[in-house]
Structure 1
């Protein structure tokens, strides 16, 4: 992929959060996505974007799969009803620590480390009172000295006398990184292969503002069910870059997806993918410029033990 041009502006900035590129110089860039006279509106993070954690496959897991992330401040929340709930996780050499909350109150700190992979690890919480509740799991980005990773896993949930394998979450977030150079003072990041960010929008063009840098990896971009291309966010120095996703679209509703691949340029120190903001163009579409997306479904559900 040809990297979009970028132009340095402003002063070097310092970001804080779960990002290895924090603390290096910031640059910004842009590309046009609208036709002459079209309106452009900004979709800032996190509004309008939905996220997913990586899906790991393993036969011994409940239902053969589980959800996982590893960066501090990422989170996943589930709604349930009743006075008790059981969270099923896994233990293993790559597992780290997480915070568990129910209805915004801290209830447990979970350490997933063990020398061998062990599924069906149960954490039961009771005496919650009737009605609806929200269970939230947040990776702490911490681990034991002997652990090989910081992964946090959700295998299944049980409530109301029923086991829920890979239940649909109420809310999912990637890790947030504070940076004064970002559009709203922060951007989101994930390096979990198969993790997704999805935007539903109405317009004739779309661009994505991301952070390139020495610890960045590759991502696939999909539009309306078709794969457009693979982008490589690696750069020797850190900078913000606007990537044109599409232009000349037929006016109407569209769905864009960014999928973390977990692969990288040979010179990169990591595989992280970042999103600062989306920019949507609204106006008359030039159908000759409409991208030809290859049909098919994203293959983002791989085995990541």
Structure 2
């Protein structure tokens, strides 16, 4: 028999406060609407939910119908998991089941899921019942050691806020086969998550996901701001989008802003060949232009502070726009992503196909170039290691195919419900310092919310300072150099040699260059020169090893092309054991 501590059927108007609920077989509080609508008001405050679990049923396993070989589960009893608060109802395609729901000052400890919603009817009858629940607010509550799918799961809610909550250790010890996340969202409209913390989501038994937040599909105007997302086994945020098998509909008008995002994707989770998987702060489905699949997500990540879990971790959420006002630091604390300064107007781009000029005072230099001709393209070139394209977004804008230096094309969705002529639309990853070209192509595809497929361009902006690593092709090594992993080194690797007069050179274009290398008890003295000029001797000895150290900065140089040379002198500090010189990275100021 299914048992809940409190069950409300086909009604509203309840206030539940100051209780302790535990040891329920299926859940603490369930509000069930069996085909009735228009109910109002449910208030739950200062309730302690604990040890509400069916974790012994091994629901972390896949069903045997999906995975025919053990370990898997047989029978519906293996799918049972218990929930602190459950809202459940039958969708009819347009009606609201329950509105004005408040959960505050509650504690959820060792439940399978803390707060969950179970819509029925919207999938098996093809009706995405937006607004099945309205004005749902969760605040000032903690969710800890959640054995099953997550802390908070919201579905088909219009309006409301989750604020000042802590979700800690979702997927605790057990996990569930279809994925663990601290916060999950499906079919939300005009919903905000703010001033909250999502941490330590797990992936026990190699269950999937493990994210801080899962923006699953069919979400519009969903905002995450002023929150702290850290130390999750999976990515900080999953932008899933258009989960057609269960919840069809693309994500759009997503906003991720003013958050701290640190040390996520410890297990390098990734899904499928079209995802940014493996080692990324974010995991985003972006479609496959070759096979005609649309981009699944449209939105923006802006003004966040991001600290990478490893020095080489990616931070690409495309097709969601990653604005240049984000600040990104590697695992060692070095800043690896900076905002732009120099710009190139659209007049300097190379255009292919039919484009036309539109005048708008909100654009850079008061105009932009636009095209809705499938296959039309433009090329924007720059000298550096990173750049950001600014482009128009709006209700009639479509999906662009963007590639760098002839590489793989990714989909960038330039749809927005609000028009903006100069929105950061695409930022390259850190590239080898040099000449690069970004190509933008009109795909003829669009988000389902967009009215047209127009693509526009406004300007290209350059990073203020750039990195080049010693793996980049611009580095030329002379003599016998060794290469291998380096603890604490930039991107986790390093080059080194103790062969006298061995050297490396790197051409660059800028006004100043800074050299990063390791200091070590075995290191010697390097000879550093610019453009064949006099050598400056730099002692790289240190009593304790440390990699990625700033060891030398050039004086200000005349703008233009220069070449740095670093040579092994064969000399060393009396305290040093050897004459080794290492190479790690450079930074260049344009």
Specify the TM-score bucket, using the shorter chain as the normaliser.
Answer: 0.3 to 0.5
Q: Whose radius of gyration is greater, 1 or 2?
A: 2
Q: TM-score, normalised by structure 2?
A: 0.23
Q: TM-score, normalised by structure 1?
A: 0.44
Higher relative contact order (CA 8 A, sep 6+): 1
